[in-house]
Structure 1
Amino acid sequence: MTEIVTAGVLVIGDEILSGRTKDQNIGFIAEYLTNIGIDLREVRVVADDEAVIIEALDALRARYHYVFTTGGIGPTHDDVTADAVAKAFGVGIDHHPEVVARFRERFTEAELNEARLRMTRIPDGAELIQSATILAPGFKIGNVIVLAGVPSIMQAMMDIVSPKLKSGARMLSETIRANAREGDIGGPLRALAEAHPEAIIGSYPFLDEDRKPNTNLVVRSRDPEQLRVAVAAVKDMLTKLHTPH
């Protein structure tokens, strides 16, 4: 079996915790990583506090192959992500000449104030994540990928960095409509999950087109044969459930 590659996400920002900004990045990153064969195992949301960011970053980067951060790399005083990352890795941080040159092309000297120059500060040794359409870059240092908090910019950065990431075997899945209430299949489903440990079986209740309780069963596995066997077992269970005794 191909190695399982794991990741954590660290969302940074007081505005997320206060509810002023509704996070749009976690779901996107989770789906993106799943599609390229990386398992997202943990998400943390922390305030714009350097010490708290460092603590969370150190915990996540020791636990997973990759850590993706979003937020906190803008021009204001509370954008402290870059400084926190530099301190976590024990490296210096300074205005990156390549980024400063890009800013000088975009802004006049009067516009290129201290706040805007904050966005050109990159930890020593970090690799830039940038393109012609992204003004202020993200960066990668060690196993940490630092992305913007603005969803459209974050998504563009993911497209740039993803080809360079190590990935594992993709998780395969199949969805089966149960035509049964979740409570009616809980027992048999538990037995199936125990009988097929190489597969993950989840149940997701919903209201169907007749506004009646129904359930989707989702079977996941990295092994196509294990997926086929587990799906067949689920379908057999449902057939027996719906067959009059």
Structure 2
Amino acid sequence: MSDRIFTAALLIIGDEILSGRTQDANLAYLAKWLGVQGIRLKEVRVVSDDMNAIGAAVNALRAAHDYLFTTGGIGPTHDDITVDAIAAALGVPVIVHPDARAILAAHYGDQLTDARLRMARTPQGADLIENPRTKAPGIRVGNVFIMAGVPMITQGMLAALDGKLEGGAPVLSRTVAAWTQESRAAATLAAVEKANPGAQIGSYPFWREGRTGANFVIRSVDPAQLEVVAGALLSALTDLGLDPVDGEL
């Protein structure tokens, strides 16, 4: 485990996301998974199914972060162009990966069509990421991880990567909550955060039962600091005349 902060970006690929036909469900899951690995998700972009747009985003994000994850566009149809776009961006050809072909052949048998065989295509020099759900593997090439758009498939691929990426200390979190408007607690949150360098406090309002409340999520890589900041925040909110709770409302 390193003190260095490792960062990642997510590139969501697909016209269906930008059109509103499909809602992305991978972002939240990936962010939480990365936090457990000691990696901070720092940037997210969404691009259309366009070779140039994908390539430009891939090259920018892989240079700016330790890891880049992409989701979408690696299926069996003609408009799944992510592999082609990333290979072009990296300046390498697309090949039919022999191990991927063998995995698909074992899974589909004599039902391995040309369309399904497209899912064995990778940029040259890539490694495979196990897919326990549908067998068609994900792809790792350098610091780029090419994954499916279907959430359950992506989650299976991430499980296969558990503990295999270099990262720093896992980001821990703890929640303090109160029935209050955010504005009433804003100065208090800022003061507690300023007094505890290395900790971050996020404010997440909600409205329920005709009342306004907020969950204040403390994040730190240090469990001892998390305990100190939670205590300080509970005390400060009590001094404001609120009735905070240790936990989420």
TM-score (norm 1): 0.90
Q: Which runs of 5+ in 2 are unaligned?
A: 243-249
* Unaligned ranges ≥5, structure 1: none
Match of 2:247 in 1: none
Name the SS for the 2:159 alignment partner.
helix
**Counterpart of 1:169?**
169
RMSD: 1.9
Cα distance in 2 for partners of 1:124, 1:40 equals 27
Per the alignment, residue 40 of structure 1 pairs with 41
Higher radius of gyration, 1 or 2: 1
CA distance in 2, matches of 1:217, 1:100: 49
Contact 2:37 2:165 in 1 (8 A): no
4+ long deviations beyond 6 Å? none
Farther-moved stretch of structure 1 (189-198 vs 157-166):
189-198
Cα deviation for residue 152 of structure 1 reads 1.4
- Name the SS of the counterpart of 2:240 in structure 1: helix
Aligned to 1:227: 226
Question: Scaled by the length of structure 2, what TM-score is found?
Answer: 0.88
Cα 1:103–1:189 change in 2 (3 A) is closer
CA distance in structure 2 between the partners assigned to 1:130 and 1:48 by the alignment: 25
1:17-166 alignment runs, 5 A limit: 17-105=18-106, 106-108=108-110, 111-131=111-131, 133-166=133-166
1:186 counterpart residue number: 186
Query: 94-103 vs 4-13, which deviates more?
Result: 94-103
SS in 1 for 2:73: coil
Give me the whole-angstrom Cα distance separating, in 1, the residues matched to 2:145 and 2:217: 31
**Paired amino acid for 2:84:** D
Give 1:158's aligned amino acid.
L
Separation in 2 of the partners of 1:240 and 1:66? Answer: 43
Structure-to-structure mapping, 1:5-24, within 5 angstroms: 5-24=6-25
Task: Describe the superposition over 1:1-53 as per-residue Cα deviations: whole angstroms up to 9, x where unpaired.
Answer: 62211111111111111111111111111111122221111111111111111
Alpha carbons of structure 1 residues 223 and 104: separation in structure 2 relative to 1, 3 Å: closer
Deviation for aligned residue 1:130: 2.3
